Amino acid sequence: MDIAAFFDTAVLALNRNKSAELGNRKLYIGSSDVGSCARKVYLQRKTPKTPNVSTLLKFSRGHIAETLIENIFVAGGVKDLFDTQVEVRHPQYPLKAHIDFLFYADLDGSHELHVVEVKSVSSIPDEPYPQWIDQLHFQLGLLRIQYPQGKIGGSVLAIDLNAGEIHQFNGYEYDDATFNYLVNKALHLIDCLEERDEARPSVSRNCSFCPYRSDCPAMSLPKVELPPEIETMAMKYAELNSTKRLAEREMKGIRQELLEFTGPVFKGRSDTVDLIASFVDPSLIVDGDRLRLMYPDIYDAVLKERAGYVKLECKQAPPATS
């Protein structure tokens, strides 16, 4: 039974089913669109491409996370406090959103409308991504139109299924200025789709999954402008890499002092740590330089290609010159 080959078609079918639940995306601008790149939204409508199976599987984590969160809410006894995939519309324009979870009361029972947007991630960021916040504010705005009175708030629930971690970015409320900005952004997308304006690209972490990336002018080398969330991750990577080098240098000195105490064979224990030194017997390896000098024909015969790899460098940029 070739399950892997079956997955190639079954995952595509799953994606079509999930997309169908949201209706015909060509007929409206959704919350994920306003948080996305205008060029991508335009091309998705005009020349749609189906993502590869790997990308679709990653997208499926979001559906799995939503189901898991719903089961947890139900098990926790708040089944009657929320609905899922609640549709909200703009009364004048073709703007629409589907809210993952809409709570009609706080967990303590006090009246409140609270939007929960679920995001499945590989690692939980220190701050929510701008696209997430745009999505949430767009939903809050459409919800406010439907419910002009009362308390309305929202949060993003980020879940890392691999690490088993969850974090709520909370405290967001409806904001007039932000919603008006997002509505204007949505109307600009409509103008682009109707060929009244140009759909310009914008770089974000979502470029990772974009099927139109290969010829995108915003990703043209030699220099690409980094979006804030990618800049933050790169700075963190550079900081961790620097810390790693400093730690390795410090460990080298400490190692030498410890070995001077233990000698080559030692077992010691305290209340907090085990200290063990053991001798590894010598082993034989092939001396490549010697083999090449003494038996060049054999050396050439046993050579094999080493796979290439992507080298990642993150380092502090030099200060800008005035």
pLDDT band for position 2 (cuts 50, 70, 90): low
Give mean pLDDT, residues 70-76.
91
Q: Distances in Å between the alpha carbon of 202 and those of 59, 212, 262?
A: 21, 12, 58
Contact assessment for residue 100 and residue 85, using Cβ atoms and an 8 Å cutoff:
yes
- Token couple for 320: 């800008």
Domain ranges of the chain: 3-222, 232-301
- CA atoms in the 13 A half-sphere facing the CB of 220: 5
Other CB atoms within a 10 A radius of the CB of residue 292 amount to: 13
Write out pLDDT tens, residues 158-203: 999 888 899 999 999 999 999 999 999 999 999 999 999 999 999 8
Write out pLDDT tens, residues 197-233: 999 999 888 888 888 988 999 888 888 888 888 888 8
Closest CA to 33 of 98, 84, 107: 98
Q: Regarding beta strands 152-160 and 111-120, do their DSSP bridges make them parallel or antiparallel, or are they unpaired?
A: parallel
Closest CA to 98 of 79, 115, 113: 115
Greater model confidence, 96 or 53: 96
Four-residue CA torsion sign, 22, 57, 218, 315: positive
- Token couple for 34: 């306003």
DSSP code of residue 218: G
Residues 6+ apart with CB under 8 A from 30: 22, 95, 96, 97, 98
Greater model confidence, 220 or 138: 138
- CA atoms in the 13 A half-sphere facing the CB of 115: 31
- The class (CATH top level) of 3-222 is alpha beta
State the first-to-last Cα distance of the chain, in angstroms, to the nearest integer.
65
Confidence at residue 301, expressed as pLDDT on a 0 to 100 scale = 87
Q: What SS3 class is residue 275?
A: strand
Beta strands in the chain (DSSP E): 82-89, 96-105, 111-120, 152-160, 165-173, 266-269, 274-277
Other CB atoms within a 10 A radius of the CB of residue 51 amount to: 16
